[in-house]
Chain A
């Protein structure tokens, strides 16, 4: 993307006023997206966003400048701007640039840019038709497709030279169904790190009909009871709970600021022997995977909770230094060249356990089966969280009796690990987009069927 000589000169300029480290992040991102709504392909958009960010680290301070002009003169100007924001310290020498090894590869079989736009539009129509075939209750269908190819170069004064070429594809269907004045929605949105073959593995028509089936099912939902009940988390979708309640508190930047409920508690038991949680950016083809992170560190599999005991956390360069952590875990991520890297999860999984998933449901006398969450929110400082359920069922005598609406789950991160009473042997992934400090990152949540012994459920029936 850039000549090695240019990179060296830009880094030297950035470090000239003194620095612990200067780093250049160059990105060339091409996106294409289509959206169908109301039976019409309404938006077909594409674009190119290319630019570079220069970061100068001095002690605890990071100074940054970015530009979308990639000529040497503009890069040198950005380097000086980054330097101007930094306090002076001892100058750092520019080390010889060496390619980072051990980079995970996520294969792309069908390059999305080689697929005719007309085929992508046809896939949208297929999903729309199959969704509408689910019944007369289907009132609205929104289908979207997006692909992004992100080519990266990350180089720094300590000699790091890393490149990555990431392709992601996602296909989403949202269906609104109505009957007698009641309205329900269904959503299905698989994605992966790979090419257009996603739609061979997950045909568009099937994605549409699954979203529609959910919406139609939820039309029968009754208002959720409120109170304290056992809660069964469905495989996959329930993983957002682990992501929010546990994952964010184990991000190194939050720990370093002592703003996490998990700070200083390594070695402490938070759950039973069945509870093991990992963050794995190497998972082949997973939505949150990559080759190197956005600081050029190879993707890594990090164990966070092992058999119930807190053993690890996630870092970027800065948090690793602040926490004197020996290892960089490949969790430094940024939304684009216009953003400073921060500590982010990749694919966060609660690993399968010993229990039969059907027996987990049949063991519950009265409780909630949470099939899908609409999202969640956690305060890392306190561990308190709230999750809204977009698809949930009331369990009566071990059976899923009827769908419920307006249910949400409220509680506390460490406490939820403690009430995991059973962990299924099944497993599923769920793809999402995580927001933190105003930056968005693709992440996967994964888990088996899990039983939470007792949780507070908020609902509309007091």
Chain B
């Protein structure tokens, strides 16, 4: 048993009779370095650890967390969780999951080479990423920031229902923000990559693409208002998924805050469109052997051939609907109790490359960046109206750059009008883990001049 799992078990062992306890303990080793103007600007190293405790008594649940992992600190957290449980409303659905007889192991979660990379190597990578971005084109005026981060995370979950799970993962990622300037216009290009360790990242490619994204929209202007086809690039496609994913949980539906409420079995997307949540997607940032309640992860078809076929559940929301968890319990670290959330969600490709999909729109608007998604997109009402930066497409050729326009349509109309998803999927951690691919929406309202 790992040291962390032993700690989680020690918390669970304190359970009184009639009481269910779950302990979630993490220990991370983090490093990050940012480069600016040819040199390291900041670097940071840390080894945070902490525990979150859930107590269930008489169908009431309480939660407390602590960074004080001494026996006294754990006692305090447990006492607080018990006290907190006294004030929640009793609910028959509340409870901890039972262990499942499934081998939860997931390969390729940890790359040992991450332990051998020195701080100097990582710093050199960030500096190189900044340099290649800056030198990609004379019109790149500066690089706002280029950075490398990694973490090695140990997670352990134990409960009085018999769950005892532990795993280790490594994550490395890098990004670069290019600022291009020409003829009085300034534009920004962001690019990102992730892998299990530094050796899986390519600074030259990330730098080149960051510059390319800034340059593509340099000189952008407004276009006249119109109703035209819109092509989301992988970034904006992933962001759009992030918006609708928030209301694809059973909990959002049960609580009347989902535009998908009451639509199970209905045609919500075009025929041939599949939307899948896969907790075990290889290489995806949200992949794990177990969800954050210790339930083995799986694959769930949310939309099958355009038909809404399932919502996503953690244990409590599943019990409310009289069904099993889909292993979608997630936490943002040890400080929060688990709640339902997509793991890795993406549309399956419909066939065709990025070029094919871009061509199929005829005269269309390519959307490279959204602005104001968190305010302009409301997945409860289904309103979607956001600012964009992008370019006009003429039969697949990228033409005149466009900015300061908004695109709008009810979200369900956008879903129904998605007619092609290219095979260029990338996993992007934009408020979750979403697979973005070049995606054609056959018509949206563009508001410009």
Enumerate chain A interface residues (CB-CB to B < 8 A). 34, 37-51, 60-68, 81-82, 84-85, 87, 117-118, 120-121, 139-140, 142, 176, 178, 182-185, 224, 226-228, 257-259, 261, 338, 340, 373-377, 379, 381-382, 384-388, 390, 405-408, 410-412, 456-462
Are A408's CB and B376's CB within 8 A? yes
Give Cα distance in the complex from A226 to B444, angstroms.
Answer: 14
Cα–Cα, bound, A120→B87 (Å): 9
B385 pairs with A407, CB closer than 8 A: yes
Give the tally of cross-chain contacts (CB within 8 A).
Answer: 247
Chain A residues with Cβ below 8 Å from B119 are 84-85
A212 to chain B, nearest CB (A): 14
Please encode chain B, from 423 to 449, with 1 for each CB lying within 8 Å of some chain A CB and 0 for all others: 000000000000000000000011101
Of B9-17, B77-85, B159-167, B303-311, which stretch is located at the interface?
B77-85
Shortest A57–chain B CB gap in Å is: 10
Q: Which of A34, A51, A257, A376 contacts B36 (CB 8 A)?
A: A257
* Residues from chain B with Cβ under 8 Å of A117 in the complex: 83-84, 86-87
Report B-chain residues with C-beta under 8 Å of the C-beta of A258.
141-142
**Beyond the given A63-B42, A405-B383, could you list 13 further A-B residue pairs with CB under 8 A, ordered by the A residue number?**
A45-B336, A47-B66, A47-B80, A48-B73, A84-B45, A85-B123, A381-B179, A385-B371, A385-B372, A387-B372, A406-B408, A410-B387, A410-B405
How many angstroms between the C-alpha atoms of A178 and B52 in the bound complex?
37
Given contacts A338-B48, A388-B375, contact A47 B77 (CB under 8 A): yes
Question: Whole-angstrom distance between the alpha carbons of A384 and B46 in the complex?
Answer: 36
Contacts of A63 in B (CB 8 A): 42-44
Q: Is the CB of B406 within 8 A of A226?
A: yes
Beyond A139-B256, A408-B385, whether A66 also contacts B42 by CB under 8 A is no
Consensus secondary structure, chain A interface? strand
CB atoms of A460 and B409 under 8 A apart: yes
A-B contact pairs, 22 of them (CB 8 A): A37-B255, A42-B91, A43-B337, A49-B65, A49-B67, A62-B42, A63-B44, A65-B45, A65-B46, A82-B45, A117-B84, A120-B87, A142-B255, A183-B259, A185-B380, A340-B44, A377-B371, A381-B188, A382-B186, A406-B408, A462-B445, A462-B446
Shortest B291–chain A CB gap in Å is: 18
Are B255 and A38 touching (Cβ within 8 A)?
Answer: yes
Chain A residues closer than 8 Å to B67, beta-carbon distance: 48-51, 68
Please tell me which one of the listed residues B44, B89, B445 contacts residue A66 in the complex, with CB atoms under 8 A apart. B44
Contacts of B68 in A (CB 8 A): 48, 50
Q: How far is the CB of B119 from chain A (nearest CB, A)?
A: 6
Given A51-B67, A61-B41 in contact, is the A386-B376 Cβ separation under 8 Å? Answer: yes
In the complex, chain A residues whose CB is within 8 Å of the CB of B86: 117
Inter-chain CA distance A460–B37, complex, in Å, is 43
Query: How far apart are B164's CB and chain A's nearest CB, in angstroms?
Result: 24
Is the pair B40, A61 in contact by a Cβ cutoff of 8 Å?
yes
Kindly identify which residue among A43, A178, A228 contacts B88, using a CB–CB cutoff of 8 Å. A43
Cβ of B58 under 8 Å from chain A: no
Which residue of B is nearest A461, CB measured? B445
Q: Give B205 Cβ to nearest chain A Cβ, in Å.
A: 23
